[in-house]
Structure 1
Amino acid sequence: MKNYLVYQAYGSIDILHECIYSVLSFYKYNSDSDTHIIIYTDSRPYLQSYLGQAISYQDIEQSQIDFWKGEIDFIHRVKIKILQDFISRYEGNLLYTDTDTIFRSDISNIYKNIADDKLYMHQNEGRIGHEDNTMMRKVNRFFKSNVITERIDISPAAITNLSMYNAGVLGFHTDQKHILSKSLIFTDEIYPMFPRHIVEQLAFSLYMQTSGPLHEAREQIFHYWNFKEFRIILKDFFEKYNNMPIESLIERIENINPQRLIKPKLAYEQTRGMQRIYQKIIKGKWQMPAYEL
């Protein structure tokens, strides 16, 4: 049974750099893997200049991206449509990751579990009904106070008792394509009523949990969705090492590992009240750690 790793990388050069770095991190820990990597992109030549020909590139144009946004014009709907397109072409164990991810270890066990009908998302962010943050509270109260169309086969009461997962990683066998069709219906129905960026994430969270054993991938994959400051470092890195063989690039990626560089930012964001005010005045918000390209 074949293993696949899928990305969507189009538009901004920052997204392309994230994708390249993520693939390099995959190779670092999975050098003996027979995983087939597929990137949906509008920038094949640029990606190939760093990653070479071993990867499959599925060319997409802006017109296709706009079509996949649908009538609701929702950018995160594109992820669902890309995965539906993938399943129409391939069969096997599918692992999708956002570009702003890095691999921390070998993931062969993830693929073995997917072959056994286990499911993966990146991280459990808490039960919706617990309203642990502002967005979770808005989601919970929306479903408590609105009548949901019959096309959505999960009740508001059930949604309250389920958890929100980070959708930066999605893992499932292509036989479970119903996850995508149900997530698409949910997104198309809910987004016009509740136009928030997390609707696609919520859809995957709900239908993955109700489709089989759902596991976290955070031990094997780090998702730095809250570290846009890393993009300038990636830009400098790839400008410096343009035309360098991929083996040499892999040797250097640890120098700028975002899991290390993000620590001061996370520490600052965990401070509260007067402690944060003091740090902001005396030291500034936070400082990027020293690194060498």
Structure 2
Amino acid sequence: MNLLFLTFGPNIKNHYQANFAIMSFLPFQKELDTIYVYTDYPQYYTRLKEHVQVVTITPEQLTAWKGPHDFFWRVKIKAIEQLICQHPDQAVMYVDSDVFLYQSPQELRTLIRSGAAFMHQPEGKLSALKSKTEKRMWQQVKGLRVGALQLHANHVMWNAGVVTLPVQQNLAAVTLALQICDAMCAQQVTPRLIEQFALSVALQETYNLQEAKPWIAHYWGNKDEWNSHISQFFLESHLKGFTVEQDIARLQQFQYKSLALVTRNKKTRARLIQAIDLLFPPKNQTFIEQ
């Protein structure tokens, strides 16, 4: 099974999240074949060069992956497709940078070898989800035909922080995901969840789809707190001169159970903080004189 990370842009938070996630997998390398990092900032992975295969993605390739409708998150599906085409006889597990493997994936790999596909967790039938975006999206896609497939009320939206395609039907599944994605883009569907729903439907139609949540945490809903702990982890590592091997050992003691994966703050709170910052900007600032 090949592990795939995809990171883009100069925001260092995305890259230290990916480094942290990679190191959570490294104690279990016997369960993996190769860890791939597709990125346009390869310099952020130099420290892990003995453990990962870094593939530099050019601006031209990124543009091509966005496709005819210039949809950025189509690149996730194209990256998975490329790795499948290069290694068709190996399963692919794509993971977002903001994940953390918290127990041995041995059983997970066994299930993948048997033909089970995985995404992080189900969020519910798109037709029944309650947010304005999801309601609008369902109205835009219900009944949409993609070849012989018709999108229907029982198709479930899954969280795409983890996307695992077993060897069986891997190319058929990713091809179907691309077709669904492009059909929704052509239909001018609300773009925020397009690639997520495309992958969800394609894997439901192709495999027995299960959740990876029992093995992999996805902290998309509490990144600020996790990022604070991760940056502290790497700052201590830098100042004390730890090796990668020492950091892998330190990571086994990481207190992940004390950190929430999702923290929902009221929008009113954010608006009040923003208003206070505007009403009471910092004063009497002093700077270094030239």
TM-score by length of 1: 0.80
**TM alignment of 1:52-131, pairs within 5 A:** 52-90=49-87, 91-131=89-129
Cα distance in 2 for partners of 1:196, 1:258 equals 32
Q: Quick check: 1:16 aligned with 2:9? A: no
Deviation at 1:164, TM superposition (A): 0.6
Post-superposition CA distance 1:25-74 (Å, at most 9, x none): 1124x25434321111223332121x232311112122221221123222
Cα distance in 2 for partners of 1:195, 1:136 equals 9
Q: 1:34 to 1:200 in 2, by over 3 A?
A: closer
Q: Alignment RMSD, CA only?
A: 2.6
Deviation at 1:178, TM superposition (A): 1.2
Cα distance in 2 for partners of 1:56, 1:84 equals 17
Code of the residue aligned with 2:166 in structure 1: it is: H
Contact 1:127–1:162 under 8 Å retained in 2 = yes
Which structure 1 segments of 5+ residues have no match? Answer: 282-293
**TM alignment of 1:195-274, pairs within 5 A:** 195-229=190-224, 230-242=226-238, 244-253=242-251, 257=255, 260-262=258-260, 266=263, 269=265
Alignment match, 1:288: none
Q: 1:108 to 1:38 in 2, by over 3 A?
A: same
Contact 1:41–1:57 under 8 Å retained in 2 = yes
Q: 1:255 to 1:262 in 2, by over 3 A?
A: farther
Q: 1:106 to 1:255 in 2, by over 3 A?
A: closer
Identity of aligned residues (%): 23
Aligned counterpart for 2:166 among listed residues 150, 167, 173: 173
Q: Number of residues paired by the alignment?
A: 264
Post-superposition CA distance 1:183-233 (Å, at most 9, x none): 111111212411322000000111111112111000100111122313344
Alignment match, 1:161: 154
Q: 1:153 to 1:257 in 2, by over 3 A?
A: farther
Contact 2:125–2:154 under 8 Å retained in 1 = yes
Contact 2:24–2:248 under 8 Å retained in 1 = yes
Deviation at 1:259, TM superposition (A): 5.3
Farther-moved stretch of structure 1 (80-89 vs 236-245): 236-245
Cα distance in 2 for partners of 1:233, 1:58 equals 28
Which structure 2 segments of 5+ residues have no match? Answer: 274-290
Cα distance in 2 for partners of 1:112, 1:75 equals 33
TM-score by length of 2: 0.81
Q: 1:53 to 1:197 in 2, by over 3 A?
A: same
Cα distance in 2 for partners of 1:36, 1:127 equals 34
Contact 1:124–1:164 under 8 Å retained in 2 = yes
Contact 1:8–1:40 under 8 Å retained in 2 = yes
